[in-house]
Chain A
């Protein structure tokens, strides 16, 4: 702000009074409002994608066709994947970034508040296109979230709508990433050198670079798909000399970094929550930063492990196998550091900490099954089986989603001004943590026994484990209602949180009141 003479710090006044109701939310440029919007959008999408998952598990409860026909089943698996990735995990992390990054680095807002508004409001449009395609003739996309040709070239109008939805979501992500990078690079409080940034900010900075590097590649790839479908090009259509395998190469060049886009902010959250409740500084901060960066860089050279079975030369299989295994090293550094942070700390197990500890244990299981799948001869057997389904659900549900829960329980008091109801939280945690394992662990056995993914019916020998998984699924789904109750209770009222409800928490956000003022850090805070 321009400080001339006496008109100095009247800053918030010139923003005037807030417009009320819908108009406020449509036009808001405030990072806290937009963060809230992202989180609410993600919550709605989570319920939508969750209902689809419940339908899938109901259908798989026993062999034969009970509730949905195969066409609809395939649409549900496809939409469940797209919605959970692009509609839940990514927007939630962006919501966290909007709320927390300016507070954590002492900035008054994001760098480009209007663009921030636009990034958010593109998302409901994309979601409407994606979900609306279900109600068109032919139904929604049924070829899997990866949109492999030739199916994605031959499908109906819903494929075009899904491609547009992905274009829009990609544009939204790129704008969000530009905003986050610029904010972090240019708007840190004086004295906050890069190596003094909170770990959550570091992980988001690296994630945002990944987004800018690979979302345009996805946009290009699905543009080629679009022109193949509508304008007679033959990038992927074998009939015209194109190569369907080329699509897989391009898609996974985006897709693998995307996997880390979905998990790096989770690492950041867990690296924030664990030190608080261990009442110790994060062990090996510097190695955490380097490990995050190495994971991001390595993510660009491992895409081939998603497509070992397409008929790849042995040299390429070996390269992708070894490169993939290499990622276990920086990931191992991270897990070591989290455990070392807890080592001899004065631990307390608030709900946020419970989810963070569960993350460390269960994400590691997902990481190990990833190592198993990295081996070419094993992957050749397990490609497209439930083992893969078990692997990526351990990484994305007990990994990314549990970290999101940890972050929600951790920061809700800051956002609402009220402490979380720990009783309800503990119920939510224990029900979720037990049922999620009942849901996904048997899938390892199903996959090893050869049950293929994305099929609504299965052979009789798979019946028992599927029934167990379905029961786990229903309990897990129902437990999430407890989370909604916790959030609503926390927003409505509760024990005041004060500036900082945790004795072990450090960081600029805890110097502000809870909830923080609408315009915070109008004057940059001083770091000692």
Chain B
């Protein structure tokens, strides 16, 4: 192989290697580029969930939900229910927030337990997220806001017009 051809071949090889290296980098660059592309075009951003609509809401009636709390030991902690009553449609997704205050100088560990009135409403009260599922740990004088995400099943009997949701907090290691 003569020298000229060797040199010409080396030039082509260098360019192709450069192309390969650039494409390796391009693979990594695609990660942010996809995001930028979607930002610019609006694809997969706002309207992505447009078709996801809750079709299970029973708008013909609404049910009053009263929220209560029992502070079992009033000087060590306080569990506050959201004020006022709400009246969602069955099938509607509702978010409410309870607040737990540790009033003492000691850490607080415990768990909340829900109850429902009338008791037969419990079967239709579907909680998706609730602080009662988990043990709560609070530092001295810490305040904790705890969400409840629930849906009243639209098969809730028509004669139940009011549901009361009540939480009682029990500290660990105390009766």
Contact present for B27 and A219 (CB under 8 Å): yes
Evaluate contact between B24 and A217: CB separation under 8 angstroms: yes
For residue A488, CB closer than 8 A to chain B, the reply is no
Tell me, rounded to whole Å, the shortest Cβ–Cβ distance linking B1 to chain A: 7
Interface stretch of the complex, out of A179-187, A322-330, A422-430, A477-485 = A179-187
A182 touches B27 (CB 8 A): no
Chain B 104-135 interface mask (CB, 8 Å, partner A; 1/0): 00000000000000000000000000000000
When the two chains form their complex, are residues A216 and B1 in contact, meaning their CB atoms are under 8 A apart? no
Which chain B residue has the least Cβ–Cβ distance from A211? B20
Interface residues of A, dominant DSSP: helix
Q: Assess A216 versus B34: contact at CB under 8 Å? Given A181-B12, A316-B43.
A: no
8 A Cβ contacts from A211-253 to B: 212-221, 224, 235, 246, 249-250, 253
Task: State which of A182, A214, A246 has its C-beta within 8 Å of the C-beta of B23.
Answer: A214
**A246 and B34 contact, CB distance less than 8 A:** yes
Give the distance to chain B from A469, nearest Cβ to Cβ, in Å: 37
B6 shortest CB reach to chain A, Å: 9
* A174 close to B12 (CB less than 8 A): no
**CB-CB contacts below 8 Å: B1-54 with A:** 1-3, 5, 8-9, 12-13, 16-17, 19-28, 30-31, 34, 41, 43-44, 47-48
Given A217-B26, A249-B30, the answer on whether A212 and B16 have CB atoms closer than 8 Å is yes
Chain A residues in 8 Å Cβ range of B44: 312-313, 316
Residue in A177, A187, A216 whose beta carbon sits within 8 Å of that of B5 in the complex: A187
**Residue contact B2 to A186, C-beta cutoff 8 Å:** no
Bits for A105-149, please: 1 = Cβ < 8 Å to B, else 0: 000100110000000000000000000000000000000000000
- The answer to whether residues A174 and B1 also contact, given A185-B12, A220-B28, A246-B34 and a CB cut-off of 8 A, is no
Closest to A242 in B: B31
Query: Please, which residues of chain A bring their CB within 8 A of the CB of B19?
Result: 212-213
CB pair B9 A186 closer than 8 Å: yes
Query: What residue of chain A has the Cβ atom nearest to residue B4's Cβ?
Result: A186
Cβ of B24 and Cβ of A178 under 8 Å apart? no
Are the CB atoms of A220 and B24 closer together than 8 Å?
yes
Is the interface on chain B under 10, 10 to 19, 20 to 34, or 35 or more residues?
Answer: 20 to 34
Name the A residues within 8 Å of B28 (CB-CB). Answer: 220, 224
- Cβ of A18: which chain B residues have Cβ within 8 Å of it? none
- Using known A-B contacts A178-B16, A249-B34, determine if residue A217 contacts B27 with beta carbons closer than 8 Å: yes
B12 and A182 contact, CB distance less than 8 A: yes
A56 to chain B, nearest CB (A): 32
Count of interface residues, chain A, beta-carbon cutoff 8 Å:
34
Whether A182 and B21, one on each chain, are in contact in the complex, defined by CB atoms closer than 8 angstroms, is no
Best-surrounded residue of A2, A187, A220, A311 (most CB of chain B within 10 A): A220
A-side contacts of B23, CB under 8 Å? 212-217
The minimal Cβ–Cβ distance linking B19 to chain A, given in whole angstroms, is 6
Query: Once bound together, how far apart are the Cα atoms of A253 and B48, in whole Å?
Result: 23
A-B CB contacts (within 8 Å), total count: 82
Nearest A residue to B12 via CB reads A182
- CB-CB under 8 A from A112, the residues of chain B are 9, 13
Chain B hits for A2, CB < 8 A: 2-3
Instruction: Give the residues from 113 to 169 in chain B that come closer than 8 angstroms, CB to CB, to chain A.
Output: none
A186 B8 Cβ-Cβ under 8 A: yes
Closest chain-A Cβ to B145's Cβ sits at a distance in Å of 24
Interface hub of B20, B43, B48 (most chain A Cβ within 10 A): B20
For the complex, give the distance between the alpha carbons of A217 and B22 in Å: 9
Cα distance A215–B28 in the bound complex, in angstroms: 13
Q: How far is the CA of A460 from the CA of B23 in the complex (A)?
A: 48
Q: Does A1 contact B (CB under 8 A)?
A: yes
What residues of chain B lie closer than 8 Å to A174, measured between beta carbons? Answer: 20
From A108, A182, A216, A312, contact of B24 by CB (8 A):
A216
A8 within 8 A of B: no
Q: Determine whether A10 belongs to the interface, using a CB cutoff of 8 Å to chain B.
A: no
A residues 191-228 near B (Cβ < 8 Å) are 212-221, 224
Chain B: minimal CB distance from A115 (Å)? 8
Closest residue of B by beta carbon distance from A313: B43
Contact assessment for B16 and A250 in the assembled complex, using a CB-CB cutoff below 8 Å: no
Q: Is there contact, CB below 8 Å, between A182 and B1?
A: no
Q: Is the CB of A186 within 8 A of B5?
A: yes
A178 pairs with B13, CB closer than 8 A: yes
Asked if A253 meets B13 with Cβ closer than 8 Å, knowing A1-B1, A186-B8, A216-B20, the reply is no
B20 neighbours in A (Cβ, 8 Å): 174, 178, 212, 215-216
- Contact A178/B43 with A1-B2, A220-B28, A235-B31 known, Cβ cut-off 8 Å: no
Q: List the B side residues contacting A221 at CB < 8 Å.
A: 27
Q: B24 near A219 (CB under 8 angstroms)?
A: yes
Cross-chain contact B16 with A182 (CB below 8 angstroms): yes
Verify if A315 is at the interface (C-beta below 8 Å from B): yes
A186 to B20 alpha-carbon distance, docked (Å): 19
| A235 neighbours in B (Cβ, 8 Å) | 31
The chain A residue sitting closest to B23, CB to CB, is A216
Residues of B within 8 A of A1 (CB): 1-2
Assembly CA distance A111 to B43 (angstroms): 46
Q: Please determine whether A216 and B13 come into contact, CB atoms closer than 8 angstroms.
A: no
CB distance from B95 to the nearest CB of A (A): 24
Q: Which residues of A sit under 8 angstroms from B16, Cβ to Cβ?
A: 177-178, 181-182, 212
Q: Mark A169-180, 1 if CB is under 8 A from B, else 0.
A: 000001001100
Please give me the 5 A-B residue pairs with the lowest Cβ-Cβ distance, nearest first.
A220-B27, A216-B24, A216-B23, A217-B27, A182-B12
26 residue pairs of the A-B complex, CB under 8 angstroms, read: A1-B1, A2-B2, A2-B3, A108-B1, A181-B16, A182-B13, A186-B12, A187-B5, A212-B19, A215-B20, A215-B23, A216-B21, A216-B26, A217-B30, A218-B27, A220-B26, A220-B27, A221-B27, A235-B31, A246-B31, A249-B34, A250-B30, A250-B31, A253-B27, A313-B44, A313-B48
With A178-B17, A215-B20, A216-B27 given, name 19 new contacts (CB 8 A): A2-B3, A111-B13, A174-B20, A181-B16, A182-B9, A182-B12, A186-B9, A187-B5, A212-B16, A212-B19, A213-B23, A214-B23, A216-B22, A216-B26, A217-B30, A219-B24, A220-B25, A235-B31, A313-B44
Residues of A at the B interface (CB closer than 8 Å) are 1-2, 108, 111-112, 174, 177-178, 181-182, 185-187, 212-221, 224, 235, 246, 249-250, 253, 311-313, 315-316
